Structure 1
Amino acid sequence: MQDKYLGTKIVMPDILFKDNYVMDLGNRIVEAKYFGYAHEKDDIVLWLPKEKITFAGDMAFYQRMLPIFEITETKKWLEAWEKFEQLGAKIVIPGHGDVTDMEHVRKHTKDYLLHLRKEIGKILETGEGQEKAYLIDQSAFEDLDAFNLLAKLNAGMVFKLMEFEE
């Protein structure tokens, strides 16, 4: 496999943009879009408006449970998701998982984040501790790759982040 990469060069980005950058490739328009903080602060989505195809990167996950890091802000991710979904993509190429559609990435990304935030919110309202977060029911998502590795870690991280969320 290494022979496929011989002779290639790493090219550093040299274009900065705030929300939208349009690239006219002659026979195709490609837009780079920033909807705000999502999985991380610099998640960019590529959008082909004519074809209604999006290269979603880590904005959208499919078939694999998304990981939540200390730098992930699930509340902002859900806000960015609303803008992302307004694209009306027919085909979604997620950062993780096979090519799919919006319905499937919504279930594996937005619905999962909403579920975690709802259940952790209940725990925080009752004043229970983080240990309770590890016990929330996530069985609706157990078919996702890495579920056994990430489910409890994600719940604990969301608890930790929501505990001090403004």
Structure 2
Amino acid sequence: MKPLAFVLCLAALPCSASEDIADQYPASVLYSKPVEVIPGVFSAIGATAPPTYENAGHNNNLSFIVTSEGVVVINSGASYALAEALHAEIKAITDQPVKLVFNENGQGHAMLGNSYWATQGVDIVAHVDAAHEFEEYGDRSLQAAQNRVKEKADKTDVVAPTITFDDTYALTLGGVDIEARYLGPAHSPGDIVVWLPQKSLVISGDMAFHERMLPIFDHTMTADWITTWNDAFEPLQATYVIPGHGHPTNMDQVRRYTHDYLIYLRGKVGDHLDAGGDLAEAYYVDQSPYSHLDTFEELATKNAGRVYEQMEFE
């Protein structure tokens, strides 16, 4: 039997989130208590809002896989404190030790918690591009975290992954096959997904978003992201998806709010370019079908501007 929380998320009306809820788990620095998505796979769902002092910077999903031979963690979190809090939740569920931590990309909220896991002697794995990104911008991410969450960033430092890979890092633990895969360019340099083929579940990282608007950065090549999705992510045919942001769901939902949003926005900006429109007007192309998503107000105009700048030279 599937855990009730996930059954509800797969219903016709998906689990909703609200960026207006500052903290769903006051007993912990974590934004929410980990839920069992399917047997043996848990996720502490982050806020669908920008990182704040109130949510302690926990605005992405911190997941872990429990097996009979150990635990694998996906994302170290945005601070030493968040990683430590996640470990406390793991210890409350199982006596098995954490054997490995994956960083889904080089962003601070995926890697700054490495500073805790390093003290536990746990190997930390990331794609080579993510490791390079963190090496170059980790100090900036740390400073931003310290300014934002203040004492909640105590003990946090920039600690690089101990293992890097190019295409796939695979292991079998307690009979569970776990494959970290780099599928191609997507949201951030070195984005990976963690695929559990026996369970038809993918922990997608920032390949896929749900319930909140995705951000398009200067280095986010939207055409490449769509290609990677079509050629490598969609063919997984995952039954269950734990996205980088938002509640666990299915492929239909993350396709709607990731792939289809990118297609839609590029179409609107393309029409604007064909009509001779300039950058100033491009910020305000119609994105109303996605206005119900959290972070829409913060991101919609920025996304349109960045897509315009990309498509102007395609």
**TM-score past 0.5 threshold:** yes
Does 2:203 align with 1:55?
A: yes
| Residue equivalent to 1:16 | 164
SS of the residue 1:118 aligns to: helix
Aligned length: 165
C-alpha distance in 1, partners of 2:205/2:83? 23
CA deviations 1:8-56 (Å, max 9, x no partner) are: 3335423333222221113100011111110012100000001000000
C-alpha distance in 2, partners of 1:114/1:3? 35
The TM-score with structure 2 as length reference comes to 0.50
| Residue equivalent to 1:106 | 255
- More off after superposition, 155-164 vs 41-50: 155-164
SS of the residue 2:202 aligns to: strand
Q: Which amino acid letter does the alignment assign opposite residue 246 of structure 2? A: G
Which structure 2 segments of 5+ residues have no match? 1-28, 30-80, 86-114, 119-123, 125-159
Does 2:113 align with 1:5?
A: no
| Residue equivalent to 1:67 | 215
Q: Return the match for 1:126 from 271, 275, 283.
A: 275
> Percent of counterpart pairs with the same letter?
45
Which structure 1 segments of 5+ residues have no match? none
- Which structure has more relative contact order (CA 8 Å, sep 6+)? It is 1
Q: Which amino acid letter does the alignment assign opposite residue 15 of structure 1? A: I
CA deviations 1:107-130 (Å, max 9, x no partner) are: 000010000111111122222201
C-alpha distance in 1, partners of 2:303/2:82? 38
The alpha carbon displacement at 1:4 in A equals 7.2
Q: Return the match for 2:295 from 126, 143, 146.
A: 146
Q: Return the match for 2:193 from 37, 45, 50.
A: 45
The TM-score with structure 1 as length reference comes to 0.92
Moved over 4 A (4+): none
C-alpha distance in 2, partners of 1:108/1:138? 12
**Alpha carbons 2:172, 2:178 under 8 Å: kept:** yes
C-alpha distance in 1, partners of 2:197/2:83? 31
Q: Which amino acid letter does the alignment assign opposite residue 25 of structure 1? A: L
Q: Which amino acid letter does the alignment assign opposite residue 112 of structure 1? A: Y
Q: Which amino acid letter does the alignment assign opposite residue 60 of structure 1? A: A
Q: Structure 1 residues 80, 4: CA separation in 2 closer, same or farther (over 3 Å shift)?
A: closer
C-alpha root-mean-square deviation of aligned residues, in Å? 1.9
